Amino acid sequence: MTKPKRYDRIAFVASAGAEAQAAFTQLTGLYGNCNPDEADVIVALGGDGLMLQTLHQHMRAGKPMYGMHRGTVGFLMNEFSTHDLRARLEAAHESVIHPLLMRATDVHGGAHVHRAINEVYLFRQTHQAARLKILIDERERMAELIADGVLVATPAGSTAYNLSAQGPILPINAALLALTPISAFRPRRWRGALLPNTAYVVIEVLEGEKRPVAAVADHDEVRDVRRVEVLSDKTISMRMLFDPGHSLEERILREQFGGY
């Protein structure tokens, strides 16, 4: 039988909100506060925005991360409680996620590399719809998509912007990515595609001078792009902890039946 991992050294991070700051004061008073570089686990207090920020900041640390909901949206968070935190951490279930790597080339030929935990999306910068060409594994799959934009989502991000754009919800352990159009005009009935998570996705911007397009990896934006490459970065594994019965896999499954 595997011995439960001990979480003696906890690093707390909190959003700027009053609830999160009050929770930070309570929890650090009870459990202390370790430097994240030396901690066994990082506990984030806030909403999903803070959790994404924390995951980005410590993406390569290999440390488990556990969120408690003290913000506005908490799909990635556990319920808040100050009681017996170390026991909760030891009983938590772990989900491993991989980010997307985005390489965007702008109008001047400059390359911009960013990573995304939820999604990479392209979106029109003006009133005119974007014209995009889509290639998968260096094979042209769509010669022209006219739309507000298009996105590539991970399973972890499939319940975020992707779901709002009518994209599919993916089980957290599915070896898939969702390719979803944003307000497609032509082909009007195209609803997107499911791709293996080994896919190399290239999106080329057509008529970029007339119809400028921006690319966004979570919160990192590049303006006036001409070409965007997207692939799953298997060199980075992020460990998220969830209370029993409230794992990310369970939440994604519940979302498909009307809520979480």
Residues annotated catalytic, as ranges = 48
Q: Which residues pair with 231 in a beta bridge?
A: 101
Tokens of 189: 């009935």
Q: Is 164 annotated as a binding residue?
A: yes
CB atoms within 10 A of CB 196: 12
Per DSSP, the three-state class of 32 is coil
Q: Is 160 annotated as a binding residue?
A: yes
Q: Is 161 annotated as a binding residue?
A: yes
CA distances from 59 to 64, 126, 190, 239, 242 (A): 10, 33, 34, 9, 18
Q: Is 173 annotated as a binding residue?
A: no
Q: Is 35 annotated as a binding residue?
A: no
Q: Is 204 annotated as a binding residue?
A: no
Per DSSP, the three-state class of 206 is strand
Q: Is 118 annotated as a binding residue?
A: yes
What is the end-to-end Cα distance of the chain in Å, rounded? 32
Q: Is 148 annotated as a binding residue?
A: yes
Per DSSP, the three-state class of 41 is strand
Binding residues, as ranges, are: 48-49, 118-119, 148, 156, 159-164
Binding residues for NAD(+), as ranges, are: 48-49, 118-119, 148, 156, 159-164
